[in-house]
Amino acid sequence: MKLVKILKALGDETRLRILNVLKNTELCVCEIQYSLEITQSNTSRHLKTLSDAGLVVSSKKAQWVSYKINDAIFAEYPFVREIFNGEMDKLEFKEKDLEKLSECLEKGIPCEWPEKRMKGSE
């Protein structure tokens, strides 16, 4: 049952942290990993759970996979929007993770997207 998967996915702090950094942007695994200071395998495992629940969607660009919030989930389950638009702001890790994300995006990281590399070489 999809609702049960959604509720289980939302019941984990690390997955809420991932959703927090994905709230306004599309990110690769490395950017999420850096922002949350967790391992790549842990990041991927949690992203799979979020994806299976329909909370995030992915797209592949060469060897990179990017993730973003699945906006369609808001129409199907309006309570998820309430979590994103209100409750997420109350979580203690919100600001720290977003600061690390900002640092990551400013500095760039080793697994930069191909289009970022192209822009840098122009």
State both tokens at 121.
């070489």
Q: At what angle do helices 13-22 and 29-36 cross, to 10 degrees?
A: 120
Supply the pLDDT for residue 110: 60
What does the pLDDT average to over 58-68?
A: 88
CA dihedral 42, 47, 50, 56 (to 10 degrees): 160
pLDDT of 6 higher than 90? yes
Supply the pLDDT for residue 114: 46
Q: Does the 2-120 domain belong in CATH 3.30.200.210?
A: no
Yes or no: say if 100 and 35 are a contact pair by the CB < 8 Å rule: yes
- Average pLDDT over all residues of the chain: 86
Q: Which of 1-10, 19-28, 48-57 has the highest mean pLDDT?
A: 48-57
Containing H/E element for 56? strand 56-61
Q: At what angle do helices 40-52 and 13-22 cross, to 10 degrees?
A: 80
Domain boundaries, the chain: 2-120
pLDDT tens per residue across span 22-34: 988 999 999 999 9
